[in-house]
Amino acid sequence: MKALLQRVTDASVTVEGDVIGKIGAGLLIFVCAMPEDTFDTAKALALKISKLRLFKDNAGKMNLSLAQTGGAVLVVSQFTLAADTSRGTRPGFSYAAKPDMAETLYLQFKTALHDLNIPVQSGRFGADMAVALTNDGPVTLWLDTDS
């Protein structure tokens, strides 16, 4: 799985004019399932994210994890993270998991975060979404379970 994490002070997702997911301080996570991913991949990624020390402690150092701060996550499916831009100027997306499998893994990833006692909000799989955020830091990380 591929994930782009952004530490935020707030973030929201709107679909057809309705806010369907909204968080305060925490992480906005854009996630993309790849064909070789499994439920174990989704669980491992969720665990890794829950333990990443991306939040400031009292000394102002990035020393605290999402689990330690009580922050929330806003999870948004993003197949374009699998874009192939090696040829031409039009990205290809054939490296992403097929929609049925991708949706299942997306839901499993959200469940795995929830099972780690992380408050989870989300976008809508396959929908045209407007994402708003205030990036804190800015802190932005790229995770790839293949790495």
Q: Among all residues, which ones are annotated catalytic?
A: 78-80
Collapsed DSSP state (helix, strand, coil) of residue 66:
helix
Rounded (10°) CA dihedral 141, 115, 43, 138? 0
> How many Cβ atoms sit within 10 Å of the Cβ of residue 111?
15
- In angstroms, the CA 7 to CA 38 distance is 26
Collapsed DSSP state (helix, strand, coil) of residue 114:
helix
